[in-house]
Structures are given as structure tokens and as C-alpha cells.
Chains A and B, each alone.
Chain A
Amino acid sequence: DTEVTQTPKHLVMGMTNKKSLKCEQHMGHRAMYWYKQKAKKPPELMFVYSYEKLSINESVPSRFSPECPNSSLLNLHLHALQPEDSALYLCASSLGLRETQYFGPGTRLLVL
């Protein structure tokens, strides 16, 4: 089973709202990732967690705040986003940092 689940599927938020994206996997993977994908562009890495610790932050603005409460769960807290932050947000997981990453279906975010 290589399933990564993400909720919600779609999210519309205003620039003053606070919302959270959720990602879950039950494959025993110890590395989890957040990517952002704009239309007709490749996925771009945002954050990497390894054993529940932040391993890589690709200079992402502080209005995006990741959290890894346990080895199965990854959250992305959103606050004061801009319209240009509208994108597909993808979560991925892998057994370890060297292993193949498996992606969830993504959350389509629209910031008004």
C-alpha cells in the first residue's frame, strides 16, 4: 500500500484567514515532504521532515508553517497568504530520505 492522503481536496481562503492542510500516511515512512505546484510547472520542494524533525526548509515565507506532530501526520498551517500562493499543495512520504517519495493527491488552494 503506497497511499498518502491529504485533506481537504479543495480550499478557498481569504488573505486574513488561518487554515491548515493535513497529510497522513500509514506506511511506516519516516520522511515527509511538502511541495507546491503552480499550473504548468513542476513541483517545488518547500519542507522536508525526517523522524519528525525539520530537515530542509527551502526558504519558504513564514506565512507557511509546517508541523509534524507524529511520524504519520504532517500539517501545513497557513496564515495571511497572498493570491500568488494559490497552487496545488502536494504532500509526499518516503521510508527514509534516500528512498522513493510517494505523493498524495494534493490540496488545490485558492487565495482570494
Chain B
Amino acid sequence: DQQVKQNSPSLSVQEGRISILNCDYTNSMFDYFLWYKKYPAEGPTFLISISSIKDKNEDGRFTVFLNKSAKHLSLHIVPSQPGDSAVYFCAARAGGTSYGKLTFGQGTILTVHP
């Protein structure tokens, strides 16, 4: 049972435009969500996170939106740059005895064209 889903395997955008990456989850116990970026042959790099008590968090060009009723989160990158081309994973964590356990989505390959 896939508890975190990224339904778009890939996304292609033009440099300077907005990239929107989506993620859906099924476990209502998830209370903390993160986005990671991964280049080939490297480990995931933390980008931004959001707690379930918020619906938006911004950090520079990156904004994460959380819609708890829809169990949906999205990552907006504005403006997109060619260096943003990578695999993006969303991840979720529940509380209690599951602290420390991240569940990842399948990833979305973002390609930003110059």
C-alpha cells in the first residue's frame, strides 16, 4: 500500500516559469511533510518542510502548500532554473512511535529547459 504518491513521473518546464510538483497521501496520521531534491549519484538534499498545523511555507524560490482535507501537498518553484533539474521526492512522517520514520513518494523527474 503506497501511502505517499507522486502521480507524475516527470515534468518539463521552461526556464523562468513556475514548476509545480504534486504529492498525495493516504495516512491521516502524517503530521510533517518534506521535499527533497536528488541528483544522480548523490544523496537526497533537503529543500523545505511543512507541519500539518500550517498550510503554506516559503523559503526563497520554494513554496510548499498543504491541503489537509484533500491530503495533498505541492511544491512550487518560481522562477525555475536549469540547475533545478533533478528528481524531487516528497516524504511524510507520522508522530508517536513513528517519529524518525519517513515514507517517500516515488519521485518526479523535473527538467528545466534553458
Q: Are B100 and A31 within 8 A (Cβ)? A: yes
Q: Are B43 and A104 within 8 A (Cβ)? A: yes
Interface flags for B53-75 (1: CB within 8 Å of A; 0: not) read 00000000000000000000000
Q: Are A45 and B43 within 8 A (Cβ)? A: no
Asked whether any CB of chain B lies closer than 8 Å to the CB of A55, the reply is yes
Report the count of interface residues on A (CB-CB < 8 A).
27
Of A62-70, A76-84, A94-102, the one with at least 4 CB within 8 A of chain B: A94-102
- Give the interface size class of chain B: 10 to 19
Evaluate whether A41 and B106 lie within 8 angstroms (CB atoms) in the complex, with A103-B44, A104-B43 already known: yes
Give the residue of A42, A97, A102 whose beta carbon is less than 8 angstroms from that of B107: A42
Nearest chain-B residue to A43 (Cβ)?
Answer: B104
A interface, over-half SS: strand
Give the residue of A44, A48, A90, A102 whose beta carbon is less than 8 angstroms from that of B100: A48
Q: Are B100 and A100 within 8 A (Cβ)? A: no
Q: Are B43 and A50 within 8 A (Cβ)? A: no
Asked whether any CB of chain A lies closer than 8 Å to the CB of B18, the reply is no
Q: Are B46 and A100 within 8 A (Cβ)? A: yes
Can you spell out 22 A-B residue pairs with CB atoms less than 8 angstroms apart? A33-B100, A41-B106, A42-B105, A42-B107, A43-B102, A43-B104, A45-B102, A48-B100, A48-B101, A55-B100, A90-B43, A97-B99, A97-B100, A98-B100, A100-B34, A101-B46, A102-B46, A103-B36, A103-B43, A104-B43, A105-B42, A108-B41
Q: Which 3 A-B pairs have the closest CB atoms?
A: A42-B104, A103-B43, A97-B100
B interface residues, Cβ below 8 angstroms from A? 32, 34, 36, 41-46, 49, 89, 99-102, 104-107
